[in-house]
């Protein structure tokens, strides 16, 4: 890299727009969406999709709700042409969906494109030519007038051929490719010249697509360019202003959102951002950003895991685990403080009525809305805390531990995760919890129990195994737990003080089991929790006392 001063690169030019309006606007409705997965997305794949894979992708895009889908570049190759023909001949295009085909401003390619559209009910012909100074000089060897003439002649040919097509409604889209690198006044001039030829109407608008083909500036500059065109084109009321952003600077989504605020009506992009170089704008993220703000996106991502699976299978591309909304880990917290806040937020949300607004720390959108479960919201590693462990045990296995027990259990599980050096899956957390806090039957084991009542007082006849030796002891108290404490004193295992007690059922129905949580105090241990599970709640509570006592005696 060049050291200071950097002379190899220069800042992007700004747009003179002193009265810009877009910074104070909000997005209150969804744009028209056009998927370009089958064109821009497909051409960017190391292994392009087969025809069958493209058909599967097309069907999925329709199911998601796209009404405009760019299906290819029929004049570029026989495969692209055949795919367009198969969609038409097999009647795969729903009546409310318009397919879009891309073509350069060259006569032979335009004519071949129209051949591919024969018998289609409706289609968008998307004409483009590059307009920025570098491509004018390096690629075409033309000045501004020469490049404008290419666009005008191509538009005229599309218009002439449209009149010859029978039974197909043709709409027209024009892109000054590399718009963001083109002088904004010239880009507007060439768009107006195209409109002068096409003569759009309010009822049959032209699509003016203004692509950020290669990002060179911050998103606000692109928004200024869009607003400048919207303010200065002679055909604004007869044109649909469309965006097509790429992601070279990693700001494709931001540029698109600001472009909509600047006046654009339409967005072209791909699922999960696949596309040349660093990709096209990710329509799934833009759409769900709107949904998260209470705006209906008009696209259905309620089964986003299935969409991701189909996308990955057809494209052989992987969606990052941190990808917004669709990534495996985007609704997952490992941090202890995050987990604690989420756990508390989930509890509060569950106490609200169904129509109240979603408001949970670190979860701006309800995973259930996207078909995601709550099971993976909190996952445990060495960075996790007591709240996360409590959440997993409750939501995965049903344990509603008393709050004071969270710290003790969390510290124990965290130590295991630290020793392992990786994530602890829920099943291992559960196994560790049972081993340490439920199944501790040494040095004291309750072999048999015979409860009774004498003059309103609870009696217990217990067979205990203490350090391998069986002992039978009888005791009484004002309840089963008190009677057990008295029995333990008799056999020299006291004194034991019961600090707290709670219980709940695990599961439902006649076969449901009960779980009891006991906090005990001994002369040597200030506080220690134990738990036990049994179909009989009284037996569960007695076993929990012994479990807690056994834990106080551990080395």
Tokens of 196: 């002068």
What DSSP string describes 196-229?
HHH---SSSPEEEEEEE-S--S-HHHHHHHHHHH
What's the pLDDT score for residue 200? 98
Cα dihedral 217/218/222/224 (nearest 10): -120
Give average pLDDT by consecutive 10-residue segment, the chain, 555 residues. 93 94 97 97 93 96 98 94 96 98 96 96 97 94 96 98 93 97 97 98 98 97 98 98 97 98 98 95 98 97 96 95 93 83 88 89 94 81 79 91 93 90 90 96 90 86 90 90 91 90 85 92 91 93 94 80
Q: Tell me the C-alpha distance between 339 and 300, whole Å.
A: 29
Q: Which residues contact 203 (CB under 8 A, 6 or more apart)?
A: none
Pick from 104, 119, 90, 86: nearest CA to 155: 104
* Angle between helix 426-433 and 386-397 (nearest 10): 100
Domains of the chain, earliest start first:
24-315 (3.20.20.70), 336-437 (no CATH), 444-552 (3.30.160.270)
Cα dihedral 56/59/64/70 (nearest 10): 90
| CB-based contact 159:192 (threshold 8 Å) | no
Beta bridge partners of 470: 465
- β-pair type (239-245, 206-212): parallel
Which residue bears the tokens 């969406």? Answer: 33
| CB-based contact 121:93 (threshold 8 Å) | yes
What's the pLDDT score for residue 508? 75
Buried b (16+ CB within 10 A) or exposed e, 368-377: eebebebeeb
What's the pLDDT score for residue 555? 55
């Amino acid at each position: 890299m060049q050291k200071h001063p950097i002379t190899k690169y220069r800042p992007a030019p700004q747009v003179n727009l002193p009265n810009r309006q877009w910074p104070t606007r909000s997005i209150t409705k969804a744009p028209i969406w056009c998927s370009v997965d089958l064109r821009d997305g497909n051409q960017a794949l190391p292994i392009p999709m087969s025809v069958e894979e493209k058909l599967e992708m097309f069907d999925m895009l329709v199911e998601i709700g796209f009404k405009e889908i760019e299906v290819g570049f029929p004049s570029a190759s026989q495969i692209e042409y055949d795919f367009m023909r198969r969609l038409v001949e097999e009647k795969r295009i729903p009546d409310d969906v318009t397919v879009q085909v891309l073509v350069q401003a060259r006569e032979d390619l335009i004519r071949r494109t129209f051949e591919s559209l024969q018998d289609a009910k409706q289609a968008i012909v998307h004409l483009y030519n590059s307009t920025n100074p570098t491509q004018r000089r390096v690629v075409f060897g033309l000045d501004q007038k020469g490049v404008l003439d290419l666009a005008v002649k191509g538009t005229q040919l599309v218009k002439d051929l449209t009149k010859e097509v029978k039974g197909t409604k043709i709409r027209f889209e024009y892109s000054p490719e590399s718009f963001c690198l083109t002088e904004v006044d010239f880009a507007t001039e060439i768009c107006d010249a195209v409109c002068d030829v096409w003569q759009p109407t309010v009822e049959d608008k032209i699509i003016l697509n203004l692509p950020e083909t290669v990002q060179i500036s911050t998103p606000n500059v692109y928004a200024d360019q869009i607003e400048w065109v919207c303010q200065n084109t002679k055909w604004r009321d007869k044109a649909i202003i469309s965006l097509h952003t790429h992601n070279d600077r990693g700001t494709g989504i931001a540029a698109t959102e600001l472009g909509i605020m600047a006046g654009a009506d339409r967005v072209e992009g791909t699922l999960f951002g696949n596309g040349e170089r660093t990709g096209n704008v990710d329509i799934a993220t833009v759409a769900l950003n709107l949904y998260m703000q209470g705006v209906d996106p008009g696209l259905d991502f309620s089964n986003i895991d299935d969409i991701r699976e189909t996308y990955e299978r057809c494209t052989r591309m992987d969606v990052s685990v941190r990808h917004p909304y669709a990534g495996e880990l985007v609704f997952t917290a490992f941090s202890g403080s995050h987990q604690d806040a989420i756990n508390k937020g989930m509890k509060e949300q569950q106490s609200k009525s169904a129509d109240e607004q979603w408001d949970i720390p670190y979860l701006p959108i309800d995973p259930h809305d996207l078909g995601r479960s709550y099971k993976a919201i909190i996952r445990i590693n060495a960075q996790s805390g007591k709240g996360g462990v409590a959440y997993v045990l409750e939501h995965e296995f049903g344990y509603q531990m008393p709050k004071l027990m969270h710290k003790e259990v969390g510290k124990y599980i965290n130590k295991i995760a630290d020793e392992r050096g990786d994530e602890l899956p829920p099943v291992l957390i559960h196994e560790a919890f049972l081993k340490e806090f439920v199944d501790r039957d040494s040095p004291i084991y309750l072999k048999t129990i015979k409860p009774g009542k004498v003059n309103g007082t609870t009696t217990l006849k217990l067979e205990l195994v203490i350090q391998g030796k069986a002992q039978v002891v009888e005791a009484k108290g004002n309840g089963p737990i008190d009677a057990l404490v008295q029995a333990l004193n008799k056999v020299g295992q006291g004194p034991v003080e019961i600090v707290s007690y709670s219980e709940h059922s695990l599961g439902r129905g006649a076969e449901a089991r009960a779980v009891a949580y006991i906090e005990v105090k001994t002369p040597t241990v200030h506080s220690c929790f134990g738990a036990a599970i049994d179909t009989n709640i009284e037996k569960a509570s007695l076993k929990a006392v012994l479990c807690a006592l056994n834990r106080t005696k551990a080395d």
